[in-house]
Chains A and B, each alone.
Chain A
Amino acid sequence: MAGYVIRRLLWGVALLFLVCALTFVLFDVLPSGEPARLRAGRTASPRAVAHVRHELGLDKPIYTQFYDYLRGVVLHFDLGYSFYSHASVAGLIADRLPATISLAAGATVIWLLAGVAIGVVSAVRRRTWLDHAAMGGALLFISAPEFWLGLVALFLFAQDIGRFPLLPGAGSYTGLLADPGKWLGSLVLPWLVLAAGFAAVYARLLRGSLLEVLGEDHIRTARAKGLRERRVILRHGLRGAIMPVITVLGLDIGTLLGGALLVEVVFDIPGVGRLNYDAITQSDFPIVQGTVLLAALFIVVANIVVDISYAYLDPRVRLR
C-alpha cells in the first residue's frame, strides 16, 4: 500500500512538472506579442523595452528562464506579477481562494448528499414512477446551463430582485471570518445552483453503477445470508457502486477549485474564476498562468486522493 501511494505521488509530481513546462511554453515562449513590450507599455522606446526585457530575464536563454521560473514557483510560490496592477499573482490568488473554496466545498457536500440519495432510491425503486420522476428531473438539471439556472434562482429568491425574496442575492458574498452568518446566507443560492447539475449527473451515474453491482452474484449471496435489504444495498451494493462516482468527484472538485467561473460571475463572487476571467480579457498573462497552474495542482492532487481512496475501497487495486 505504501509503495502504491509513493508511486502515485511521484506520478503527480511528474505531471505537475509537465504542466509547468507547458504553461511556460504557452505563456512565455509562444506569445506573438512580446511580453516585455506588453509590460513596458504602448509608447515605450526600444531602449525601455530592452531594459524591461533584461529586468524580466527575457534576454537569457530559454532553459535558464525556465529554470528560474520553476525555481520561483517551487521554492517561493512566486507566480510573477500582474502586468497591470503589479501586485503579486500569488497574493491575488490567495485573496480569491477562500471564496472559491467556500463555493466548491459547500456545493460538493450538497450534490454528493443529493446525488447519492437520489441515485440509490432510483436504483432500488427501478422502473417505478419515483425513478422516472427523479431521472427526468435529473435530465432537466443536466441540460439547464448554470448561468441560466443562476439567473432564474436570483429572479425567484434573491432579496433584491426576487419574486420570493428569501435569500441574499448577487454581490452579497461575505468572508467566513468576517461574518459566518452572512457567509452562509450569501452562499446558499450559489451552492444550490452549482450543485444542481452535478447532483443530477451523479444521481444518474450512481443509479447505473448500483444497478450493475446489484446484479452481481455476491449480492445474491448477501441476500442468501438473510441480511436486511438495507444492509445488502448500503454495505454490499453501494461500496462497489461508488467507485465511478469517486473518479468523477476527484475531477470535478479539482476543476471547481480552479474557479467556478459562471456561478462566480452570475452571483458576483470574488473567486479565482473571476480573477482568471478578468485577466484573460486584459491579456494579463502572469495571472492566467498562475490560475492555470493552480487549477492543474488541484486536479492532480484531487486525482491522487481519488487513486488512494480507490486502493482503500477496492483491495484489488493495490496489486496493480
Chain B
Amino acid sequence: MSAAVAPLLEVEDLSVAFPLPGRGPAGRLEAVRGVSFTLRPGQALGVVGESGSGKSVTALTAMGLTRRDGAQLAGRIRLAGRDLLELDDRQMRSLRGNELAMVFQDPLAALNPLQRVGWQLVEALRAHAAPARRDAPARRDAPGRRDARARRDVLTRRDALTRRDARARAIELLDRVGIPEPGRRIDAYPHELSGGMRQRVMIAMAIANEPRLLICDEPTSALDVTVQAQILTLLGELQRELGMALLLITHDLGVVAELADDVAVMRAGRIVEDGPTREIFDAPREEYTRALLRAVPRLDDPLPDRASPTPRLDPGAPGDLPPAGPGQPLLEVRALAKGFAPRGILARRRHEPVRAVDGVGFALAPGEALGLVGETGCGKSTTARLVMRLLDADAGEIRFAGQDVTALRGRSLAALRRGAQMVFQDPYSSLNPRRTVGACVAEPLVVHDLQHDRAARRRRVGELLETVGLAAADAGRYPYELSGGQRQRVALARALAPGPALLVADEPVSALDVSIQAQILALLQRLRRDLGLALLFISHDLAVVRQVCDRVAVMQAGRIVELAPREQLYERPQHPYTRALLAAVPGAGRDRRTIGA
C-alpha cells in the first residue's frame, strides 16, 4: 500500500503460451495473457480462480519451472529488481529453493516416495549452502571460468554445511513446522506420515533456506478441514516470523480470506479484479467475482427449502421393488461393521484388522437426503460401498426396501443395483474413455433389460441427458470432449437410467470448480424434487452437505458420532468433534454482510 517500501516481486504484463504439438506454428495455448501485480516484502497476495485460469502457470513461471515445457514467455518478472526471465538456467536454479520457494498441492505426490524425508530436507539445505549465496547469481563469470568456479563451489559447499549440520538443521526445521518427535520423524518415509505432516515437511523444505518469497499452490486442497486450519495457521506464523512475502494460489475463497492481505481474481489467463481482501469480499466490482463468491457454499447461507418428497415426474422405468410401506424407511442400516486385514497366506497375523466401519447405523426415508460427513479415513466411503454391496460387510444389517441387502445374490442383487445407484467423485476417471456418452448412459438399460428397442433406448438416453441439463445430441460425444461438470452430469444420467429410488453420491462435487459445483448441487436438488429420489450424500465439505441434506451424520474413526437434522447439527452441535469440524472451516468466522447481495 505504501509506495515507500520497494516491491519484492513485480510481475509486468506477463504472458505465457505453450506450443500445441501438431497444430503448426500458430497452434499455441495461451495460459496467461498480460498479468501484472506486485508483492511487497511480508505481504500476502491470494490469487484465486477456477481450473484453467492460469494461476498455477503464473506461479510456476515465476519459479522458472515452465521453461522446460517450451513455454513462450513475454513480459517481466522482477525479484528485488532482477528480471527472472533474463536469467540463464544456472542462475535461475541458484534462486529456486533459496530466494523463492514453493509448496505444492498434494504432499504425497510432491515428496519423493523412495527417500526419507530427512534426506530430502538435507538435500534442499545443501543445494544452496554455499557461502555468500545472496549475491552468487549476480556475479558474472567468463564462460571459461565457470567450470573452475563450479568445482570450487562444490568444495566450499561441503565446507559450509556438513551432512551432520544439515541433519541437525533439518530436525530444527521439522520442529519449527510442528512435527512431533522430529528426531524420529526425520527418518520416516513420506508414506509413513499423515497428509498434514507431509505438508508440514513440504513447508519445512520450502522454508529451509529462508526464502524471501514463498509460493503456495493450493497448499491445503488435498487436506482434511481440521488439518487445513492448522496448516493455514502455520503458514501465517512462518510468514510473519521470516518476513516472507506469500503468493497464495487457490480456488478456495475461504483460504484466501484467512491468509491474504490482497486478492487477485484470475479468469482465462487474465486478472479480472484485484484489491485488498476485505474490499473484494465486501464489494466485488466484477460480475465474475460476485458469481464466484455466490457459488461458494457457506455455513451461514440461508437454508434452501426442503425438497418435497412427492415425485412430480415419472421416474422412467418403474422399479420392480416392493414399495416401502408408509413410515417404512427406504434404507435401514444397523450395526454395520467392516475391517480390512492384511492379506496373504504368510501375512503378519499380529496386526488387528483396521476397522474402517465400526457399528454404523442409520435410516433413510423415501425421498430423504442424508449427509455422511467426516475426514479422510473415517469410513464414509466404505459405508457407501457396503450399502451398494460393492463390498461385503463383516457384520450388521442393511435393509433396502425391506430386503436384506447383505444376503442378496444373483438376480435379486441386480434388482438392488437397479433400485440404488451410485455417483463417484472423479468424473475424469469414473467414465470409460473409450465409450460414447450415449453408450455409457444406455448401458444400465441394457444390463437391466429395461429397453429392448434400440430406437426407444436412444430416445430414453436423450431424455436422461436432457434431465441432467445436457443435450440429447451429446450422446455421440466422448468423455474427453466434455468438461468436468458435464462429465459429472453424464455420470448422473447414467445413475438415473434404471430409475433408482436411492442415489448414493460419494463426494460428487469435490473434483469440480466452485461454479460448476454449485450447478451440480442445484441439479441434484432438482432431481430429488422431481424424481422423489432419496439421497445418501457423502462429503468432507460441511457447507456442501448443509445445502443438500435434510439430516446429517458425522463420522469419526468408523463410527457415527452425531446424527441430527440439519438445523440442529449446524446451529447446536452436540459432539465435540462436530464442533471442531465446524470451527475449522476456513472463513467460518468471517462475516459477510453484503457479499453476493
Residues of A within 8 A of B (CB): 3, 7, 10-11, 216-218, 220-229, 236, 239-240, 313-316, 319-320
Identity of the chain B residue whose Cβ is nearest the Cβ of A313 in the assembled complex: B114
CB neighbours of B101 from chain A (8 A): 224-225
CA distance A98 to B118 in the complex (A): 45
CA distance A286 to B210 in the complex (A): 72
Distance from A317 Cβ to chain B, minimum over Cβ atoms (Å) = 10
- Are B112 and A221 interface neighbours, CB within 8 A? yes
- Are B114 and A228 interface neighbours, CB within 8 A? no
A-B pairs, 5 with minimum CB distance? A226-B97, A226-B96, A217-B109, A225-B97, A218-B112
CA distance A223 to B115 in the complex (A): 16
CB neighbours of B112 from chain A (8 A): 218, 221-222, 236, 240
How would residues 338 to 351 of chain B score, 1 for a CB under 8 Å from any chain A CB and 0 otherwise?
00000010101000
CB contact under 8 A between A217 and B114, given known A224-B63, A224-B65, A227-B123: no
CB contact under 8 A between A223 and B65, given known A3-B348, A10-B346, A316-B191: yes
Identity of the chain B residue whose Cβ is nearest the Cβ of A236 in the assembled complex: B112
- Are A224 and B346 interface neighbours, CB within 8 A? no
B355 an interface residue at 8 Å Cβ cutoff? Answer: no
The A/B interface has a contact count, at CB < 8 Å, of 74
- Are A225 and B96 interface neighbours, CB within 8 A? yes
B128 an interface residue at 8 Å Cβ cutoff? Answer: yes
How would residues 120 to 138 of chain B score, 1 for a CB under 8 Å from any chain A CB and 0 otherwise?
0001100110000000000
How would residues 432 to 457 of chain B score, 1 for a CB under 8 Å from any chain A CB and 0 otherwise?
00000000000000000000000000
Identity of the chain A residue whose Cβ is nearest the Cβ of B209 in the assembled complex: A226
CA distance A279 to B533 in the complex (A): 74
B113 an interface residue at 8 Å Cβ cutoff? Answer: yes
Distance from A236 Cβ to chain B, minimum over Cβ atoms (Å) = 6
Query: CB < 8 Å: which of B127, B189, B191 contacts A226?
Result: B127
CB contact under 8 A between A216 and B93, given known A314-B114, A315-B114: no
Query: CB < 8 Å: which of A11, A221, A315 contacts B191?
Result: A315
Distance from B360 Cβ to chain A, minimum over Cβ atoms (Å) = 27
- Are A226 and B128 interface neighbours, CB within 8 A? yes
- Are A227 and B127 interface neighbours, CB within 8 A? yes
Identity of the chain B residue whose Cβ is nearest the Cβ of A314 in the assembled complex: B114
CA distance A239 to B348 in the complex (A): 29
Query: CB < 8 Å: which of B93, B94, B110, B348 contacts A218?
Result: B110
- Are A314 and B113 interface neighbours, CB within 8 A? yes
Identity of the chain A residue whose Cβ is nearest the Cβ of B208 in the assembled complex: A225
CB neighbours of B65 from chain A (8 A): 220, 223-224
CA distance A69 to B65 in the complex (A): 65
CB neighbours of A319 from chain B (8 A): 191
CA distance A7 to B342 in the complex (A): 14
CB contact under 8 A between A221 and B348, given known A227-B123, A313-B114: no
Distance from B404 Cβ to chain A, minimum over Cβ atoms (Å) = 35
> CB within 8 Å of A: which of B336-385?
344, 346, 348
Distance from A126 Cβ to chain B, minimum over Cβ atoms (Å) = 11
Distance from B413 Cβ to chain A, minimum over Cβ atoms (Å) = 31
Identity of the chain A residue whose Cβ is nearest the Cβ of B189 in the assembled complex: A315
- Are A7 and B110 interface neighbours, CB within 8 A? no
- Are A217 and B104 interface neighbours, CB within 8 A? yes
How would residues 530 to 569 of chain B score, 1 for a CB under 8 Å from any chain A CB and 0 otherwise?
0000000000000000000000000000000000000000
CB neighbours of B96 from chain A (8 A): 223-226
CB contact under 8 A between A225 and B104, given known A239-B114, A240-B113, A313-B114: no
- Are B189 and A316 interface neighbours, CB within 8 A? yes
CA distance A130 to B307 in the complex (A): 64
CB contact under 8 A between A217 and B106, given known A314-B113, A315-B191, A316-B189: yes
CB neighbours of B97 from chain A (8 A): 224-227
CA distance A229 to B96 in the complex (A): 13
- Are B123 and A225 interface neighbours, CB within 8 A? yes
CA distance A277 to B95 in the complex (A): 64
CA distance A223 to B124 in the complex (A): 10
CA distance A227 to B96 in the complex (A): 8
CB neighbours of A222 from chain B (8 A): 112
Distance from A225 Cβ to chain B, minimum over Cβ atoms (Å) = 4
Contacts A221-B104, A224-B97 aside, 15 further interface pairs with beta carbons under 8 A come to: A3-B348, A217-B110, A218-B112, A220-B65, A221-B112, A221-B202, A224-B63, A225-B124, A226-B94, A227-B123, A227-B127, A229-B89, A239-B114, A240-B113, A316-B189
